[in-house]
Structure 1
Amino acid sequence: MKVNPAYKTKEDLVELYNTPLMELLYKAATVHREHHNPLEVQMSSLLSIKTGGCPEDCGYCPQAARYHTDVNAQKLMSVESVIEQAKNAKANGSSRLCMGAAWRNIRDNRDFDNVIQMVQAVNGLDMEVCCTLGMMSDEQAKRLKNAGLYAYNHNLDTSEDYYDDIISTREYQDRLSTIDNAKNAGISVCSGGIIGMGESIEDRMGLLMSYIKMDTPPESIPINALVPVEGTPMADQKVVEIWEMVRMVATTRIVFPESVVRLSAGRTSMSKEGQALCFMAGASSIFAGDMLLTTPNPEFNEDKELFEILGLKPKAPFQDGEKPESKTDELIEEKKKKAAAREKELAEARANSEKNSDFAPRKVVSAK
């Protein structure tokens, strides 16, 4: 991945963003055609494998436990249920499944073992597997990579300057560190932000500057429009206008010509014409299916109709990188061996007790 060398400062980006719209759209479409097939758009599905109950305070998120929303906390989905959902997504044209858990960070426990098995299973379906599980250590990143994880999503959300107005429970540097851990493990990075949270144009460009400063920018950059949710601190924010989305997508495409620009949350408020402009501006991926974690999204049949109207076709998996190999997870195998040994011991103990017919439990005489 590379950065367009013409844009080095926030001032450069602001000037680009404010280019007359038709000129900006033309520039972005030209860059997009030079680096991508303009008639291909990847369909990805986003599945909430662990919903609600999050201890953080992200001002936009209905999954935060401290906010009174309609989202109820749920346990981690079973591996079998995830496989069923993945098969359904693939049957409807999705080539990538992103699994999201409302965690602050990954913990090395049974739930993470189950996620490892989910990754192995979905990779076995020949789908790109992405996860968004919160903060992640380098060792956890290696386990996910070995399981067959293709990409890890960890959004920066906004500029570093505006970040503290949105979140107080996690530092900006924490997010950058997790992105580094994913990169170091050889995992493709998916990282973007949300517009419409009260930020300025300078803040939007500050987000892109954070990616410019990286040694390698993210392979994919999701652009989300805030979906205001009752009960969250941002419930009263105005819906993002389509022109703002077009400008943000176009600017991102021009600055990061090789990255996949993902048109993400907020599509339910966009017309077909508005989405078409975003595709012209360089968006080359959408999230398909009726929900994005807990946020409403166009259904599969609506996107199929949109693709037919615009002459688009779904992008096949692994066009931007090789399919990862799923390897045996040593920690899970060790736990299985210990469990099997324990079960064997119990079985032998039961067998020995049955052979000893003279055995009788000690009688306990109650005190009078």
Structure 2
Amino acid sequence: MQTLRHDWKKEEIQAIYDKPFLDLVYEAASIHREQKDYNEVQISSLISIKTGGCAEDCSYCPQAARYNTDLEVKPLMQIGEVITAAVKAKAGGSSRLCMGAAWREVRDNRDFDRVIEMVKAVNDMDMEVCCTLGMLTENQAQRLADAGLYAYNHNIDTSEENYEEIISTRTFDDRLNTIKNVRKANLTVCSGGIIGLGETKEDRVGMLQTLANLPQHPESVPVNALVPVKGTPLENEPRIPIWDMVRMIATARIVMPQSVVRLSAGRNEMSTLEQAFCFMAGASSIFAGDKLLTTPNPAFADDMIMFELLGLKTRDAFKNGRPANTIKETV
């Protein structure tokens, strides 16, 4: 079994990333197969509970208010709408529901109170509940935990060195502080990044180094390929070659061997064969459903055909056990 490390040097990760492609995939696949049920893939659904109008300037994001992307701004959803979406997602095979709000940070107001009720409602459906709401304090993280939240997503996006090229309205340390607050509330962490932002190979390695050297590896590591959106500063960036995506997934699998590596944005442009390489290299989760927040995503039915073809099984919720905060009291 691969030893967990939190002291990776950049040169070590770079050497892994730069290995001959087939050697890299073989090593990652070998580590992946050390895990029991390596052929299980978790299906997650991601819904935008509040769309657009964000004050941030993330260069890749169509939800930033300052960019003209023709995105329809929508207010915070009602609880009933979220329950309907959760029922549909669970019926389609999802065991995790992620709720995303286009906020810079969580504020202690009625909107946050409503999100708390959403978390409680989805937790009662025996689904893992994940939220991505921007920056949050330790107290806010604890409120989410008390409501039954299972995971909090807060991607670091890119390397610390490249971060200011992509976002100027918050710092890299702001990202890390939110992750610390999530940990203090005993929530699981979902944190990864995006490739295709115009970054260098060294930036990709730096991003993985930051995640792998956290005191505790994120339980989930999403690897996203940029989906360029017209009207954003990165609208003309070329599509990332599938080989780069596989290299990132394989390297993440090697340096964080027990984390769930999530094949995330960009999957709509991938063939079944290309996705198969990603699963072989260690990806063990996908987002399913027609949309990934605001960008197109493969439909449930198409994914089920792929699962059958590749001999993959769906992963149940709470496979690694339910944290105490998600266990419902019985009378």
Runs of 5+ unmatched residues, structure 1:
329-368
Q: TM-score w.r.t. structure 2 length?
A: 0.96
Sort the Cα spacing of 1:35 and 1:78 in 2 relative to 1 into closer, same or farther, 3 A: same
Q: Distance in 2 between matches of 1:20 and 1:119?
A: 44
**CA deviation string 1:34-57 (max 9, x = no partner):** 124221000000000000000000
| Equivalent position of 1:261 in the other structure | 261
* Match of residue 210 from structure 1: 210
Distance 1:167 1:3 in 2: 34
User: When the two structures are aligned, how many residues end up with a matched partner?
Assistant: 327
Q: 1:7 deviation in Å?
A: 7.1
What does residue 166 of structure 1 align with? 166
Q: Does 1:280 align with 2:264?
A: no
Change (3 A) 1:260 1:310: same
Letter in 2 for 1:19: K
Q: In structure 1, how many angstroms separate the alpha carbons of the residues matched to 2:122 and 2:239?
A: 35
Q: Is the 1:63–1:102 Cα contact (8 Å) retained in structure 2?
A: yes
State how far apart, in whole Å, the 1-side matches of 2:144 and 2:106 are: 11
The structure with more radius of gyration:
1
Q: Name the aligned partner's letter for residue 295 of structure 1.
A: T
Partner of 1:60: 60
* Structure 1 Cα separation of the partners of residues 110 and 160 of structure 2: 34
Asked if structure 2 preserves the Cα contact closer than 8 Å seen for 1:3 and 1:212, the reply is no
Shift, 1:3, TM fit: 6.6
Counterpart for residue 231 of structure 1: 231
**Distance (Å, rounded) in 2 between the aligned partners of 1:43 and 1:126:** 14
> CA 1:266–1:8 in structure 2 vs 1: closer, same or farther (change >3 Å)?
same
On the 8 A contact 1:120/1:326 being kept in 2, the answer is no
Supply the AA of the counterpart residue of 1:130. C
Measured at CA, do residues 89 and 69 of structure 1 come closer, stay the same or move farther in structure 2, by a change above 3 Å? Answer: same
Following superposition, the deviation at residue 212 of structure 1 comes to 2.5
The one-letter amino acid paired with 2:153 is N
Alpha-carbon distance between aligned partners in 2 of 1:241 and 1:272, rounded to the nearest angstrom: 15
* Counterpart contact for 1:3–1:255, Cα < 8 Å: no
Name the residue aligned to 2:248.
Answer: 248
Counterpart amino acid of residue 143 in structure 1: R
- Counterparts of 1:158 and 1:6, CA distance in 2: 19
Change (3 A) 1:174 1:324: same
In structure 1, the residue corresponding to 2:62 is in which secondary structure?
A: coil
Distance 2:113 2:161 in 1: 37
Q: 1:116 to 1:5 in 2, by over 3 A?
A: closer
Aligned residue type for 1:217: H
User: CA contact under 8 A between 1:53 and 1:72: conserved in structure 2?
Assistant: no
Question: What letter corresponds to residue 146 of structure 1 in structure 2?
Answer: D
| 1:134/1:232 CA distance change after superposition, 3 Å | same
SS at match of 2:33: helix
- Cα deviation for residue 214 of structure 1 reads 1.3
CA offsets 1:210-234 (integer angstroms, 9 cap, x no match): 1132111111100000000000000
* Cα displacement (A) at 1:281: 0.2
Is the contact made by 2:8 and 2:213 (CA closer than 8 Å) also made in structure 1? no
- The share of aligned pairs that are identical, in percent, is 59
Write the mapping of 1:1-368 to structure 2, written as runs, cut at 5 A.
Answer: 4-5=4-5, 8-322=8-322, 324-325=324-325
Given that 2:157 and 2:193 are in contact with CA atoms closer than 8 Å, whether structure 1 keeps it comes out as yes
> Gaps spanning 5+ residues in structure 2: where?
none
Instruction: Give, as a single letter, the amino acid of the residue that structure 1 aligns with 2:114.
Output: N
Aligned to 1:359: none
Please state how far the C-alpha of 1:22 moved relative to its aligned partner: 0.6
The AA in structure 2 aligned to 1:119 is V
- Kindly state the Cα deviation for residue 171 of structure 1 after the two structures are TM-superposed: 0.6
**1:140 Cα deviation (Å)?**
0.3
Instruction: Report SS of the residue matched to 1:203.
Output: helix
CA distance in 2, matches of 1:118, 1:327: 16
Instruction: State the alpha-carbon separation in 2 of the partners of residues 113 and 98 from structure 1.
Output: 17
How far off is 1:4 after superposition? Answer: 4.2
- 1:36–1:250 CA distance, 2 compared to 1 (3 A): farther
* Per-residue CA distance 1:70-126 (angstroms, 9 max, x = gap): 212110000000000000000000000000000000010110000000000000000
Q: What are the superposed Cα offsets for residues 117-156 of structure 1, whole Å, 9 maximum, x if unpaired?
A: 0000000000000000000000000000000000000000
Q: For 2:94, give the aligned amino acid.
A: S
Change (3 A) 1:36 1:256: farther
